[in-house]
Chains A and B, each alone.
Chain A
């Protein structure tokens, strides 16, 4: 029967046939039975996912059928239909495992939807298809409820082992010299499922220390013959952290250039996991989230003492369970015991990560140059023990071995790793990761950052094997992570409670006097302020201040004058809100409060010695004026200066005297336009973008700075890109609601950045990564 097939049991032919027609049209495979007995016979030889059964049947009742199905084929989902509802039958049906209960008459849609939902509750299959070498008479188990848990008797483990060992090599944990090793299990009695950790990880079976890749003939230019190992294996007793490690290896080897050697082994390997109820003293799997798993296995066992719980992870697992054990529904007590044991195991971990593991990548990145790496690796022997016992390591070297007659050769890969001294050495002699400290750091970065960023899965599963294996006791990743976290804390300890010297006046404005105010346009004025204590503002062009009027409020205003003009600073302000309205009402001599300057300002260092294309749209001129004055005050440090200004109309032109100055200035190529002209206007008319095509630029040495309303950006940037400017060469200033100015209140966020801290000036390159920016 095709996958997801439905068995319909009803004694009324009309019901049977119509349901069959609906479901067949909906794409399901459907079979029908007249009686309960017939249904039970069919279930023995054909596989179904769903049973639709009428409660009233001649002979065996629907409920009896439910009970029998639950015992023999527990993974079949049952839906009960009946024309005679009663709460008792409903309850009984539920107790016997029915998924739901439909009253006749019901619409085809209802049934279809219910079946869809029922089947959707079965999670999609794992991407690895296990190619099993099943014996001829194996009962074909169906697509069943993966992740469902059943209970089996302990003795069933032996029959499971016997069944598997008959046709596959079984490897599992066994005792050796007071430790546990993952090795060939020749007799069931050797298997020790209650263990803390094996000296070497089971992943070694999937990526062995030596592996022949190709057989070749010398002097023959044709490709070698790949050598693949398809012998069937069973890993019986894999702890969750090792399962997680194998999932990582799957990701590494099965995606983007799938590796046939690994894949062949993997597809012929059955994984039977076992819960780790007694973690080793060096394990920190709970901190890495690998102490339990819901994926990556065919079966997962939990020994609860009185029985063994088995969770199904794949079809293959379900098949094995059906074939070799008497699996049954677990009792509530058993389910509770499993949970209790698992929770208790979590308490047993002795080593813990002191910082949330999601923070590790950034934490490590910020401490790339920390002296910790040098200090800790002083005693490193470069012996490779840490990487050789690691379940998530997978680097290798490739060598050719020839026969003595120099006719044939094999190409072999063997384990290699970043902690060995010559790993990054090339034939010419240069070693690109020279020195213990660099190698030591690289390994920790692999485990905490690089693997996660590249493969999306944690790079260290916290098994603790490297901690045991390292003779000078330096290999522990959790110790390194915690040490770096401690460093970070130590650095931020300067900002920490008693250690901190607070700025009491962080939010307290400094008094400044309004020395001059001048109208610019209908709603815009320019204000000149001087601090009462005579201090200069000490700002960079492009920064902003917070201006306060006590009782009214505080508003962020761009600084419009250059820091080169000392003593006072100018703010051009448009009347738009409460604070700005109140400011507009001030007379010269009035007092305001000023905090700042804030923000990053224009990147003067990137602009110096370049040709500049400055584009000011409307009141974008307010912040840009600060830059223009600065550039003109230091004219010899810049190349060409092309200044484009645009206003909506001639009446709305501002700083007109200065505009004329700039027009006359031989050091400035000044172009102006208005969106819409009037009778007196003799200049360009058109949006500011129209000015750009006519400008001749050397794109390689030009930096463009653009400030204006949001709508303008898109078009201007388009024209600038046409001119051949790269994203890094286009600088913009963004506006957001800003309040505190010190990166605390949160209003100015664009994705992860604070405009008052990392902005308001950004390059287009930076904005490409900020999805909310444009």
Chain B
């Protein structure tokens, strides 16, 4: 495609994914600006645009009022790409779904609860059709760049369909289960180069699950390594509330 028009939008999020996009290596950023036309990016630009070729959307939907805005973006864009875990699978924001809505509002709003507009957190894919995804909390900017390059070449961007364990082994890590920790790597989609394990921690599952995760086996494994059933479910709650409920 000729220089495509690219725009960035956000909903309920921490804006970290957009920020990291700006943090790609200086030379690469200049090259990126040569390859695409960034026409709207509220956090760093005052410009606004009409129709765009590629819309990156960060953030999840947590209020009724966000829905029309998202639909408008879908209308304006040829391709919509979910940017980051919040847009992809709901992200951290899904933790609020576990409190019954009434309880959440009451805890937080007191007697004005009913004046407040909040709905269970949803990924953007639950509201509009989404073409591609750059997962993670935050994203792996290399994956973002690769997605853009592939679209420029007319390829279909694809994500790996194997778990983080593969990348952990490639990185030469010692499996954290052998070091007394527990980890969601075996059912979490790779593409992050096992960054969290390589940095000394474990995988929290922020990139969502592989296509056909063996969740029962993973639960068995976690229980084998000392977690109770409740603790296992708590682990999945942090990012994978929506995915384990089958909400896409």
Direct A–B touching in the complex (beta carbon < 8 Å)? yes
Q: Which of B152, B163, B221 contacts A406 (CB 8 A)?
A: B152
Taken together as a complex, chains A and B put the C-alpha atoms of A200 and B185 apart, in Å, by 18
Give the complex CA separation of A381 and B203 in angstroms. Answer: 15
Contact assessment for B170 and A379 in the assembled complex, using a CB-CB cutoff below 8 Å: no
Contact among B163, B166, B174, B187 for A176, CB-based, below 8 A: B174
Tell whether A381 pairs with B146 under 8 Å between CB atoms, given A200-B169, A200-B172.
no
Q: Mark A362-388, 1 if CB is under 8 A from B, else 0.
A: 000000000000000011111111001
Q: B31 interface residue, CB < 8 Å from A?
A: yes
Any B CB within 8 A of the CB of A138: no
Stretch from A73-81, A241-249, A397-405, A627-635 forming part of the interface with B = A397-405
Say whether A421 contacts B153, CB under 8 Å.
no
Is A177 touching B174 in the complex (CB atoms < 8 A)?
Answer: yes
Interface string of B18-40 (1 = CB under 8 A from A): 00000000001001101100000
Task: Determine whether B199 belongs to the interface, using a CB cutoff of 8 Å to chain A.
Answer: no
Tell me which of A468-476, A481-489, A687-695 binds B.
Answer: A468-476
Q: A382-B163, A422-B161, A422-B162 are in contact. Are A388 and B35 (CB under 8 A)?
A: no
The reply on B211 being an interface residue by CB < 8 A is yes
A179 and B174 contact, Cβ closer than 8 Å, known pairs A404-B149, A421-B212: yes
Say how far A474's CB is from chain B's closest CB, in angstroms: 9
- Chain B residues with Cβ below 8 Å from A378 are 217
State whether B170 touches A415 (Cβ < 8 A): yes
Contact B175 A385 (CB under 8 A): yes
B210 at the interface (CB under 8 A from A): yes
CB pair B170 A381 closer than 8 Å: no
Q: Take A381-B186, A384-B163 as given contacts and tell me if A405 and B34 are in contact as well, using a CB distance cutoff of 8 Å.
A: yes
Q: B187: which A residues are within 8 A, CB to CB? A: 381
Chain A 188-228 per-residue mask, 1 if CB under 8 angstroms from chain B, else 0: 00000000000110001000011000000000000000000
B158-169: CB near A (< 8 Å → 1, else 0) gives 000111011001
Rounded to whole Å, the gap between the CB of A162 and the closest CB of chain B is 25
Residues of B within 8 A of A379 (CB): 214, 216-217, 220-221
Contacting pair A420 B162 (CB below 8 A): yes
B186, A383: Cβ atoms under 8 Å?
Answer: yes
CB distance from B168 to the nearest CB of A (A): 8
Which applies to chain B's interface (DSSP): helix, strand, loop or mixed? helix
Let me know if B145 and A404 touch, CB within 8 A. Answer: yes
Q: With contacts A177-B174, A379-B214, A421-B161 known, is A384 near B169, CB below 8 A?
A: yes
Q: How far is the CA of A178 from the CA of B176 in the complex (A)?
A: 12
A684 in the interface (beta carbon within 8 A)? no
CA distance in complex: A406, B146 (Å): 11
Q: How far is the CB of B196 from chain A (nearest CB, A)?
A: 16
Q: Are B166 and A384 in contact (CB under 8 A)?
A: yes
Q: In the bound complex, do residue B149 and residue A406 qualify as a contact, i.e. CB atoms below 8 Å apart? A: yes
Q: Which of B106-163 contact A (CB under 8 A)?
A: 145-146, 148-149, 152-153, 161-163
Determine if A463 is an interface residue (Cβ-Cβ < 8 Å). Answer: no
In the bound complex, residues from chain B placing their C-beta under 8 Å from that of A183 are: 172
A379 to B175 Cα, complex, angstroms: 18
Q: Is the CB of B166 within 8 A of A388?
A: yes
State A415–B177 Cα separation when bound (angstroms). 22
User: Is there contact, CB below 8 Å, between B177 and A471?
Assistant: yes
Contacts of B152 in A (CB 8 A): 406
Q: How far is the CA of A324 from the CA of B72 in the complex (A)?
A: 75
Q: Are B170 and A421 in contact (CB under 8 A)?
A: no
How far apart are the CA atoms of A469 and B177 in the complex, in Å? 9
Which of chain B's residues has its CB closest to A425's CB?
Answer: B161
B34 near A383 (CB under 8 angstroms)?
no
Given A404-B149, A468-B178: A381 in contact with B31 (beta carbons within 8 A):
no
A645 CB-CB contact with B under 8 Å: no
A-B contact count (CB 8 A): 107
What is the distance, in angstroms, from A475's C-beta to the closest C-beta of chain B? Answer: 12
* Among A381, A402, A468, contact of B163 (Cβ-Cβ < 8 Å): A381
Q: Give the residues in chain A near B169, CB-CB below 8 Å.
A: 200, 209, 384-385, 388-389, 415, 469
Residues of B near A472 (CB, < 8 A) are 217, 220-221
* Chain B residues closer than 8 Å to A388, beta-carbon distance: 165-166, 169-170
For the complex, is B243 an interface residue (Cβ under 8 Å from A)?
Answer: no
> What 0/1 pattern do residues 204 to 216 of B give for CB contact below 8 A with A?
0000001111101
| A381-B161 contact, Cβ under 8 Å, with A176-B174, A402-B149, A415-B166 | no
Task: Say if the beta carbon of B105 comes within 8 Å of chain A.
Answer: no
A618 nearest CB across to chain B (Å): 66
A181-B174, A422-B161 known; A471+B221 contact, CB < 8 A: yes
* B69 CB, min distance to chain A CBs, angstroms: 31
Q: Is A267 an interface residue (CB 8 A)?
A: no
User: Could you say which residues of chain B place their CB within 8 Å of the CB of A405?
Assistant: 31, 34-35
What residue in chain B is nearest A473 (Cβ atoms)?
Answer: B224
* Alpha-carbon distance between A37 and B217 when the two chains are bound, in angstroms: 76
Are A209 and B170 within 8 A (Cβ)?
yes
B244 CB-CB contact with A under 8 Å = no
The residue on B at minimum CB distance from A176 is B174
Q: Does B44 contact A (CB under 8 A)?
A: no
* Chain A residues whose CB sits within 8 angstroms of the CB of B210 once the complex forms: 382, 421
Taken together as a complex, chains A and B put the C-alpha atoms of A734 and B185 apart, in Å, by 62
By a CB distance below 8 angstroms, the chain B residues around A382 are: 162-163, 210, 212, 214
* Residues of chain B with a CB closer than 8 A to A420's CB: 161-162, 166
B179 interfacial by beta-carbon distance below 8 Å: yes
Decide if A414 is an interface residue (CB 8 Å cutoff): yes
Interface centre among A176, A401, A471 (most CB of B within 10 A): A471
Q: Is B97 an interface residue (CB 8 A)?
A: no
B218 contacts A by Cβ under 8 Å: yes
CB of A425 to closest CB in B, whole Å: 9
With the chains together, A405 CA to B178 CA distance in Å? 44
Considering the chains assembled together, what is the distance between the CA atoms of A210 and B175 in angstroms?
20
Bound together, the chains give a CA A142 to CA B171 distance in angstroms of 41
**Residues from chain B with Cβ under 8 Å of A181 in the complex:** 172, 174
In the complex, A177 Cα to B148 Cα: how many Å? Answer: 40
User: B-facing mask of A447-470, CB < 8 A → 1, else 0?
Assistant: 000000000000000000000110
Q: Of residues 12 to 71 in B, which have CB atoms within 8 Å of A's CB atoms?
A: 28, 31-32, 34-35
Could you tell me if B28 and A414 are in contact, using CB atoms closer than 8 angstroms?
A: no
Closest chain A CB from B30 CB (angstroms):
9
Q: Which residues of B contact A384 (CB under 8 A)?
A: 162-163, 165-166, 169
CA distance A546 to B182 in the complex (A): 69
Instruction: Report the minimum CB–CB distance from A72 to chain B (whole Å).
Output: 43
Complex-state Cα separation, A402 to B149, whole angstroms: 7
Centre residue among A176, A179, A420 by max chain B CB count within 10 A:
A420
State how many angstroms separate the Cβ of A497 from the closest Cβ of chain B. 39
Partner of B174, one of A199, A381, A415: A199
Which residues of A sit under 8 angstroms from B148, Cβ to Cβ?
404
Enumerate A386-430 residues with CB–CB distance to B below 8 Å: 388-389, 401-406, 414-415, 420-422
Q: Is the CB of A404 within 8 A of B28?
A: yes
| B170 cross-chain contacts in A, Cβ below 8 A | 209-210, 388, 414-415
Pick the most buried of B145, B152, B175: most chain A CB atoms within 10 A of its CB. B175
From the candidates A176, A177, A422, A471, name the one contacting B186 in the complex (CB within 8 A). A471
A-B residue pairs, 8 tightest by C-beta: A388-B169, A209-B170, A383-B165, A404-B31, A379-B217, A383-B186, A381-B186, A384-B166
With A385-B165, A404-B32 given, name 18 new contacts (CB 8 A). A181-B172, A199-B175, A209-B170, A380-B214, A381-B187, A381-B214, A382-B212, A383-B162, A383-B163, A383-B165, A384-B163, A385-B169, A405-B31, A415-B169, A415-B170, A468-B178, A471-B175, A471-B186
Can you name 26 A-B residue pairings with CB atoms under 8 Å? Answer: A176-B174, A178-B179, A179-B174, A181-B174, A199-B174, A209-B169, A209-B171, A378-B217, A380-B217, A381-B163, A381-B186, A381-B187, A381-B213, A385-B166, A385-B169, A401-B146, A402-B149, A404-B31, A404-B34, A406-B153, A415-B169, A415-B170, A420-B161, A422-B162, A471-B177, A471-B221
| Chain B interface residues toward A at CB < 8 A | 28, 31-32, 34-35, 145-146, 148-149, 152-153, 161-163, 165-166, 169-172, 174-175, 177-179, 185-187, 210-214, 216-218, 220-221, 224
